[in-house]
């Protein structure tokens, strides 16, 4: 039966994810779209707004699938603290681990913003071919050994923690960093699909979140990743042949 540490950590993570999801859904329903649908130069103001919105979206999308790793880390750290000291500051290492994980995903919004700005500057039907390239590249990555290596680290919380364990506060920073890098390595291509093909519409956010969770948490997640890769390659080839389909993919955000 899960101990009190694991239960509290899981509840806190689910609560944070729920708050982030409320923000994402409200923004979508109210039309507060952080996507740029017209070509325009990159600016600090737009970039900052994009990265902040991206950070909230990543918290909503990634925290649920990261829950087993973070909760297990909290349980292991709790088991290493003397019983009389558990109530005092024992949650700090878990908070550091989680904060570093989310910070890495938040910072990843900066290159995403620049890449999207460049894509939107592509004239005319070139956008459709740019989206097709992104889809096919993402699909190819889903089938690559690097994807499988990163996914194995995400799917095996105990193995990851045993292999990368570091004591103390700096250890929490290091573990949060390593986990974030593996997770980013596992999911970056899907996030590019979310931005380029889905224009970060709510339906695409839900779809990519489901794929990420299925890859990491369900039995046979490696095959789910491969099947997703094949589907993305086929979709990219279809868009290349019929560029007008990019408007369907991007929905209300289309050209």
- Asked if 217 and 68 touch (Cβ cutoff 8 Å), the reply is yes
Q: Is residue 166's pLDDT more than 80?
A: yes
42 Cβ contact list (under 8 Å, min separation 6): 113, 114, 117
Token match 């519409």: residue? 201
Reported residue count of the chain is 255
Q: What is the mean pLDDT of the chain?
A: 87
d(CA 5, CA 86): 9
pLDDT at 82: 45
pLDDT tens digits along 68-122:
999 889 888 876 654 444 544 557 888 899 999 999 999 999 999 998 888 888 8
- What number is the average pLDDT over the span 46-67? 93
pLDDT band of residue 254 (cuts 50, 70, 90) is very low
d(CA 51, CA 108): 8
pLDDT tens digits along 168-224:
788 899 999 999 999 999 999 999 999 988 888 899 999 999 999 999 999 999 999
Give the residue from 175, 179, 193 showing the smallest Cα distance to 232: 193
pLDDT tens digits along 124-155:
678 899 999 999 999 999 999 999 999 999 99
d(CA 176, CA 95): 10
d(CA 169, CA 112): 30
- What number is the average pLDDT over the span 238-248? 92
State the Cα angle at 121 between 105 and 234, rounded to 5°: 70
Give the residue from 73, 62, 56 showing the smallest Cα distance to 101: 62
Considering the entire predicted model, what is its pTM?
Answer: 0.88
């Amino acid at each position: 039966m899960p101990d009190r540490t694991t239960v509290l950590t899981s509840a806190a993570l689910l609560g944070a994810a729920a708050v982030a999801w409320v923000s994402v859904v409200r923004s979508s329903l109210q039309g507060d779209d952080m996507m740029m649908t017209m070509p325009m130069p990159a600016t600090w103001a737009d970039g900052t707004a994009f990265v902040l919105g991206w950070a909230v979206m990543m918290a909503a999308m990634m925290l649920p699938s990261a829950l087993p790793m973070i909760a297990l880390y909290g349980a292991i750290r709790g088991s290493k603290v003397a019983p009389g000291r558990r109530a005092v500051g024992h949650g700090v290492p878990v908070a550091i681990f989680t904060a570093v994980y989310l910070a890495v995903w938040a910072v990843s919004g900066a290159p995403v913003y620049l890449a999207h700005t460049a894509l939107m500057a592509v004239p005319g039907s070139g956008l459709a071919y740019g989206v097709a390239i992104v889809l096919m590249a993402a699909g190819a990555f889903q089938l690559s050994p690097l994807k499988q290596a990163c996914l194995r680290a995400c799917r095996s919380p105990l193995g990851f923690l045993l292999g990368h364990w570091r004591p103390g506060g700096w250890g929490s920073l290091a573990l949060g960093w390593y986990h974030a890098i593996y997770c980013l390595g596992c999911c970056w291509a899907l996030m590019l699909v979310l931005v380029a093909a889905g224009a970060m519409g709510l339906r695409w956010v839900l779809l990519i979140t489901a794929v990420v969770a299925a890859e990491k948490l369900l039995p046979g997640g490696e095959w789910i990743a491969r099947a997703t890769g094949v589907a993305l390659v086929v979709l990219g080839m279809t868009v290349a042949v019929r560029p007008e389909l990019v408007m369907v993919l991007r929905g209300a955000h289309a050209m």
